[in-house]
Structure 1
Amino acid sequence: MDWFEFLFAVEVAVGGLLSGVMYALVAIGFVLIYKTSGVLNFAQGAMVLFAALTFVSLVEREVPFALALVVTLVIMGLLGLAIERTVLRPLANRSPMTLFMATLGLAWVIEGGAQLIWGTQVHALDLGISNAPFEIGGIYISNFDLVAAAIALALVIVLTSFFRFTRTGLSFRAVADDTFAAIAIGLRLNRIQAAVWTAAGVVALVAGLLWGARLGVQFSLSLVVLKALPVLVLGGFDSIAGAIVAGLLIGASEKLAEVYIGPFVGGGIEGWFAYVVALAVLLIRPQGLFGHKITERF
């Protein structure tokens, strides 16, 4: 491999890593919910869509950018709170399949509500971030991907600080580690889960704005949830750090596979290679790289 081939490989890998950050943003929303309630929130993709559609619709109605962002942030927080109060709380202690089906139905309700409120047309979302590449040491990097990665990093730092240093965050970690012990010492599980669902709504807003700016705000945007599933399998459903690392690994591996393996199989490998990786991980380490192994005794 000569120097130019090496630079090209690095450029492909870096582009994949930055794309993987976008996958991780969606996966973090899943992790927040799963850690406290054991629910695989399939409505997270619909929440991403609803956030992006709400923001861009407000901006198109000449609401100032900053005000539209604040209003959408409040709406997504209230949406997460409403979901916990009206759907998940009444179904507490039901089987995981019942809760999964509830979130699956919820996804259709949210998408239908978005269509009813904002319409079905496709919107272009401009966040004022240039997508022009710039060069670093012979490697071209997308400015948008770099800014998106910085925003994702800031979000992770904020979430990590919140869960490590605030009372609510420490309560969240206690519930995640041992739900029954947390209840036994007097922690209010409903309040903690409400806070987590609100945080999931905020995460959905960040992911929705970045994905919407990249793909356009359309109803297929909710399908980004499918990109998060291999990330969750690889990183573990209960690890925020795992979601970040797995997102980077999935993003880089699928780009490299498309470039170096794709030509031998007819191309198009990028769309499904992540699922091959996820399947391999399930066979070897079902809890993922960072997930906790669960031991059940009968």
Structure 2
Amino acid sequence: MGFFIETLIGGLMAGMLYSLVALGFVLIFKSSGVFNFAQGAMVLFAALAMARFSEWANHALGGDSLLLANLIAFVGAGLAMLFVAWAVERFVLRKLVNQEGATLLMVTLGITYVLEGVGQTIFGSEIYNIDVGMPKEPVMMLESMFEGGILINKEDFIAALIAAVLVGLLTLFFQKTPVGRALRAVADDHQAAQSIGIPLNRIWVIVWLVAGIVALVAGIIWGSKLGVQFSLATVALRALPVVILGGLTSVPGAIVGGLIIGVGEKLSEVYIGPMVGGGIEIWFAYVLALVFLLFRPQGLFGEKIINRV
């Protein structure tokens, strides 16, 4: 029983990290109707900025204060993502208002390659480490309740807690603030939103900035775990089944979908993997997403589209 609980907790913590990346997709699609294939590149760009700014700040401070260096780096990386948000709106989205979804999708693919190329040019292509002081040693818990106890990775636990707090704040932002309501109005109809005085260009800058901050937090967490390298951009692919499962327009769906995928991957790898030769954790999420596409394409919490003729 203790091993099952340990596996379950590990899956929940991994699921929260998937949810964090999936939120970037949901935020932009919910407010602009654009499926942002550049989300993985945004995670990579933000992580590169954080790693390099932290390195430069730490060198400038003589290595005396890691916390201050990381704080400076976080602000600098945040400003970099603000610039990315402004540039995307100013030079791309502003010229493509009310264009077809396929056009906007292809544009985000172009943004992907631009961000990867610019990131490599500015920050270099080496593998960098992000040290934000999160403990990496596992800890044994609940030894009195379960024989042998439950092994918990401290870094995964703290990362999952940070992701959960950010997800909660974003949920409140969308549901309770005037800006959040304006974002939802823009997603429903660009022209109608403009007709009632909602500034489309400002809203798009805000939503891409929020998605950029989400990408920054995700980049810091994944960069701390895996190192900052260009393969980090593929982390967004792990979030695609989460988006499909939870629904493209639902922030709670991203949370629930991430938890389901995380737990399903861990449990299937442990209990089903030995029967099929292992490796099930790699493709389990995609098979589950395919099943949902067949029977409920809008996802668990997505809005069902009804066409009237």
The bucket for the TM-score relative to the shorter chain is over 0.9
Matches of 1:58 and 1:189 in 2, distance apart? 32
Structure 2 unaligned residues grouped into runs of 5+: 59-68, 143-148
Aligned to 2:12: 17
2:127–2:229 CA contact under 8 A, matched in 1: yes
Please report the RMSD computed on the Cα atoms of aligned residues, expressed in angstroms. Answer: 1.4
Alignment of 1:51-200 (within 5 A): 51-63=46-58, 64-137=69-142, 138-177=149-188, 179-200=190-211
Aligned to 1:33: 28
Aligned to 2:62: none
Q: CA deviation at 1:190?
A: 2.3
Matches of 2:107 and 2:304 in 1, distance apart? 26
Change (3 A) 1:191 1:62: closer
1:143-183 C-alpha deviation (Å, 9 max, x unpaired): 11111111112212222232233321221233345555433
Structure 1 unaligned residues grouped into runs of 5+: 1-5
Q: CA deviation at 1:191?
A: 1.8
Name the TM-score, length of structure 1 as normaliser. Answer: 0.94
Matches of 2:157 and 2:191 in 1, distance apart? 42
Whichever residue aligns with residue 82 of structure 2, its letter is G
Which of the residues 206, 223, 227 maps onto 2:217?
A: 206
Q: CA deviation at 1:184?
A: 3.6
Name the TM-score, length of structure 2 as normaliser. Answer: 0.91
Matches of 2:187 and 2:92 in 1, distance apart? 20
Matches of 1:271 and 1:87 in 2, distance apart? 35
2:57–2:72 CA contact under 8 A, matched in 1: no
1:6-32 C-alpha deviation (Å, 9 max, x unpaired): 111111111011001111111101101
* Aligned pairs, number: 293
Matches of 1:152 and 1:81 in 2, distance apart? 25
Matches of 1:120 and 1:174 in 2, distance apart? 40
Matches of 1:8 and 1:132 in 2, distance apart? 19
Matches of 1:46 and 1:212 in 2, distance apart? 13
Structure 1 segments, 4+ long, off by >6 Å, are none
207-216 or 127-136, which deviates more:
127-136
Alignment of 1:230-241 (within 5 A): 230-241=241-252
Matches of 1:166 and 1:17 in 2, distance apart? 29
Matches of 2:171 and 2:236 in 1, distance apart? 22
Matches of 1:193 and 1:125 in 2, distance apart? 30
In the alignment, is residue 286 of structure 1 matched against residue 297 of structure 2?
yes
Aligned to 1:269: 280
Whichever residue aligns with residue 293 of structure 2, its letter is L
Matches of 2:163 and 2:71 in 1, distance apart? 19
Q: CA deviation at 1:33?
A: 0.5
Which of the residues 222, 233, 258 maps onto 2:233?
A: 222
117-126 or 39-48, which deviates more:
117-126
Aligned to 1:3: none
